[in-house]
């Protein structure tokens, strides 16, 4: 199985993989074989997996898509990687992504863009673009991704695969190179909800090495996320937010999403009109909070402790300056500047604090419809992105990229679980070959419900 995928990866021209090492993979595969022979296998033993290059891995380079970490090899494995290794999974390699997971198209990678397997002229989405492309092109049966503001859901949508961002705190962030710590959340991406459930079972759980990991008392209990896959959907109430179907939503995406909603009605669900009034504010709030946290997290890349160090500097200040100017790409530099600015004394209240207040309001929008005795729906559905994948190189304006995150940012700001499943193809592009994703959002800890709802559609 490992050889089959390695051969496909070798022939692929998508640039989805950044590092492969046949010997390392085959050694792990041999261990899996031995374990199967010894009768100590888990359901995942011998199953190949590949990791977004944001997860650190012993023995493989971990670059976060950045020149800053081009030759960095971690002395330890991320918790998620450790858990998959312990289950006997076989690592195929590391996957391309936007630099430090900042982006929506995988075009911010220092190691070049990734092609969308459905249409090589299109972006695969981002920041987990290599992850989504690898699954769609059948270079790996399952992969890891991370989602800070949509980076699992949006590339899954653009590449026609399934991905789930769990409730914030479900999956350990230990060894996940930090972008915006209060938002970052790892999750699985695969062909189906059933596969995602199997992977999430192995990934999730409390980790004392991550201070925001959910303890069992906080709800971070070990559970079988696939337990409800086969539950019928009769009586399911689906909230349809009017803000997700307004101006800016492409007609072809809307048509595919509405057709999916109609299929859910056939499966026994009812549609409920809801409002998430603060949706539009998610963009300015997220694009202050995320850069603020990034500016702090990225201060560790100083040329002393990790990775790249510039040559020919005059003194310490000059070394920092040259190292960071050379090591970070333009989008990362932009975010460090924005983040530093909104955290400045004198601007903090006007920008950062206000953004945090908006974040609270956004969470309350969801609570009002999903929580407590007055809840009007069990899940929320809508598009993942306003359009299908755009052409490579066509969206160079950063703000245009930010605006395309409108339907995914709120879920992240609220810390809720969300997923993307394929629901058809766009008609607006050249050959009608670009996939559309349906987004399913649930209350905190509702992953099993989301996977059930997704599986019944698939
Ligand atoms: N597109 C968003 C950004 O650029 C989200 C990225 C992510 O979820 N990692 O920040």
Ligand 1 nearest atom to the CA of residue 102, by list position: 4
Mutate which of 53, 54, 104 for ligand 1 pocket (most atoms within 8 A of beta carbon): 104
Q: Please tell me the predicted confidence (pLDDT) of residue 432.
A: 75
Q: Helix or strand or coil: residue 78?
A: coil
Query: What top-level class would CATH report for the domain 2-218?
Result: alpha beta
20 Cβ neighbours under 8 A, 6+ residues apart? 6, 9, 10, 92, 93
Q: Please tell me the predicted confidence (pLDDT) of residue 365.
A: 98
* Residue 66 annotated among the catalytic residues of the structure: no
* Residue 11 annotated among the catalytic residues of the structure: no
As a whole number of angstroms, the distance between CA 83 and CA 159 comes to 26
pLDDT digits (tens, 9 = 90+) for 200-228: 999 999 999 999 999 999 988 889 999 99
Residue bearing tokens 């195929």: 92
Residue 116: φ, ψ to 5°: -75, 125
Those residues of the chain that have pLDDT short of 70 are 428-430
How is the chain split into domains, by residue range? 2-218
Ligand 1 centroid–CA 189 distance in Å is 16
From residue 403, alpha-carbon distances to 104, 397, 407 in Å are 10, 10, 9
Helix (H) or strand (E) holding 188: strand 185-190
Dihedral of alpha carbons 364, 180, 280, 189, sign: negative
Mutate which of 54, 65, 101 for ligand 1 pocket (most atoms within 8 A of beta carbon): 101
The set of protein residues with a Cβ atom below 6 angstroms from ligand 1 is 101-104, 127, 147-151, 179, 290, 405
Q: Please tell me the predicted confidence (pLDDT) of residue 3.
A: 98
User: Are 80 and 175 in contact, with CB atoms under 8 Å apart?
Assistant: yes
As a whole number of angstroms, the distance between CA 413 and CA 355 comes to 10
Question: 167: closest CA among 225, 125, 114, 208?
Answer: 225
376 Cβ neighbours under 8 A, 6+ residues apart? 237, 239, 272, 274, 369
Ligand 1 nearest atom to the CA of residue 183, by list position: 8
As a whole number of angstroms, the distance between CA 367 and CA 441 comes to 12
- Atom 4 of ligand 1, residue of closest alpha carbon: 103
User: What is the model's pTM?
Assistant: 0.97
Q: Helix or strand or coil: residue 267?
A: coil
């Amino acid at each position: 199985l490992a050889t089959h995928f390695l051969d496909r990866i070798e022939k692929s021209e998508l640039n989805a993989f950044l590092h492969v090492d046949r010997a390392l993979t085959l050694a792990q595969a041999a261990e899996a074989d031995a374990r199967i022979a010894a009768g100590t296998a888990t359901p995942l033993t011998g199953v190949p997996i590949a990791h977004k290059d944001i997860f650190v891995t012993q023995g493989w380079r971990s670059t976060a898509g950045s020149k800053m970490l081009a030759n960095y090899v971690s002395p330890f494995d991320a918790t998620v990687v450790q858990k998959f290794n312990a289950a006997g999974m076989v690592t195929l390699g590391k996957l391309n992504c936007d630099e430090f997971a900042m982006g929506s198209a995988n075009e911010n990678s220092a190691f070049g863009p990734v092609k969308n397997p459905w249409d090589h002229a299109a972006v695969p989405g981002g920041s987990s673009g290599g992850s989504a492309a690898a699954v769609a092109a059948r270079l790996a049966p399952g992969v890891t991704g991370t989602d800070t503001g949509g980076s699992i859901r949006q590339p899954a949508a653009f590449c026609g695969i399934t991905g789930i961002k769990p409730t914030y705190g479900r999956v350990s962030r230990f060894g996940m190179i930090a972008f915006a710590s209060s938002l970052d959340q790892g999750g699985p991406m695969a062909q189906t909800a059933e596969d995602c459930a199997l992977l999430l079972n192995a990934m999730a759980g409390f980790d004392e090495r991550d201070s925001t990991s959910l303890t069992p008392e906080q709800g971070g209990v070990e559970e079988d996320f696939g337990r409800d896959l086969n539950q019928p959907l009769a009586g399911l109430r689906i909230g349809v937010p009017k803000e997700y179907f307004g101006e800016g939503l492409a007609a072809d995406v809307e048509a595919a999403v509405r057709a999916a909603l109609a299929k859910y009605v056939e499966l026994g669900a009812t549609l409920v009109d809801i409002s998430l009034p603060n949706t539009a504010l998610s963009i300015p709030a997220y694009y202050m909070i995320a850069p603020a946290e990034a500016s702090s997290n990225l201060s560790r890349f100083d040329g002393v402790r990790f990775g790249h160090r510039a040559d020919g500097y005059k003194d310490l200040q000059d070394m920092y300056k040259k190292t960071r100017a050379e090591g970070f790409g333009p989008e990362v530099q932009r975010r460090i500047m924005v983040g530093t600015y909104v955290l400045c004394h004198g601007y903090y209240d006007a920008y950062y604090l206000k953004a945090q207040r908006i974040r609270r309001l956004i969470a309350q929008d969801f609570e009002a419809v999903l929580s407590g005795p007055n809840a009007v729906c069990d899940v929320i559905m809508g598009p993942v992105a306003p359009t299908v994948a755009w052409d490579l190189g066509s969206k160079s304006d950063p703000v245009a990229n930010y605006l395309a995150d409108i339907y995914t940012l709120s879920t992240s700001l609220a810390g809720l679980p969300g997923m993307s499943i394929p629901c058809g193809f766009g008609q607006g592009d050249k050959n009608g070959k670009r996939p559309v994703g349906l987004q399913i959002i649930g209350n905190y800890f509702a992953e099993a419900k989301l996977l059930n709802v997704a599986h019944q559609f698939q």
